[in-house]
């Protein structure tokens, strides 16, 4: 199914055989993540590309203002101080409801991304320094950024910086989890209906401070 361009082939036609994504040829892709009608790819040099429907981040908002973009390099030195626009560089066109060709996520360039994950409504990336970036729908607290709102550009999850070096990340529809280095602690946050956070609660939690669950 390719109604929202989630195959990254430049059109909205369904495919029934393996087809090369020409827009990513020569990019050195080493990881792919897909969720709902969104897809992402991680290149060897740390560049992250996205395409597909309007569910999360760049594929949802092609026109952004300054407040949507954070300069994460400056965040490491002066938290929450500097904001600057980062234009998007398209390597393909726009489909009926989203991007039908891969597009570079420019705010993540130079951050040394080594892991990516995406779900139906939000996405995440982990850097080689253990930083976690998230974007998309955060109305259930699933971004862990301190708000219950939508962020159309990657945001640094600052509440993890002091104590947690992220090594792996996973996202569901309304919750997120990260694996920390050292003691291999697992942290979860977001909407805990049906107890899926594993913290003994069934409410929306973790917008400001992710809760941890130590696995035996």
Residues 103-118: pLDDT tens digits?
999 999 999 999 999 9
Cα 130 to the chain's mean position, in Å?
A: 15
Query: Model-level pTM?
Result: 0.74
Q: Locate the domains of the chain by residue range.
A: 22-213
At residue 34, the pLDDT reads 92
CA-CA-CA-CA torsion sign (136, 142, 146, 149): positive
Q: Top-level CATH class of 22-213?
A: mainly beta
Find all residues with CB under 8 Å of 46, minimum gap 6, and list them: 108, 109, 110, 111, 112, 113, 114, 128
At residue 50, the pLDDT reads 93
Instruction: List, for the chain, all residue ranges whose pLDDT scores fall below the cut of 50.
Output: 55-57, 59-96, 207-216
At residue 98, the pLDDT reads 65
Instruction: Count CB atoms within 10 A of the CB of residue 196.
Output: 16
Tens of pLDDT, residue by residue over 155-200, are: 999 888 778 899 999 999 889 999 988 777 888 888 876 666 766 6
At residue 109, the pLDDT reads 95
């Amino acid at each position: 199914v390719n109604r929202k361009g989630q195959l990254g082939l430049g059109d909205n036609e369904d495919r029934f055989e393996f087809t090369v994504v020409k827009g990513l040829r020569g990019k050195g892709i080493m990881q792919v993540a897909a969720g709902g009608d969104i897809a992402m790819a991680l290149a060897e040099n740390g560049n992250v590309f996205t395409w597909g429907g309007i569910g999360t981040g760049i594929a949802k908002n092609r026109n952004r203002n300054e407040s949507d973009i954070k300069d994460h390099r400056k965040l490491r030195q002066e938290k929450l101080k500097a904001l600057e626009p980062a234009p998007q560089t398209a390597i393909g066109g726009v489909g009926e409801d989203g991007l039908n060709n891969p597009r570079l996520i420019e705010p993540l360039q130079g951050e040394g991304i080594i892991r990516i994950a995406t779900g139906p409504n939000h996405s995440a990336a982990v850097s080689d320094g253990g930083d976690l970036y998230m974007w998309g729908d955060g109305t259930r607290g699933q971004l862990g950024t301190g708000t219950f709102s939508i962020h159309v550009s990657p945001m640094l999850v600052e509440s993890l910086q002091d104590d947690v070096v992220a090594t792996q990340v996973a996202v569901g529809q309304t919750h997120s989890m990260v694996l920390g280095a050292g003691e291999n602690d697992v942290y979860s946050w977001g909407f805990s209906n049906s107890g899926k956070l594993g913290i003994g609660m069934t409410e929306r939690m973790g917008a400001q401070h992710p809760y941890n669950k130590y696995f035996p």
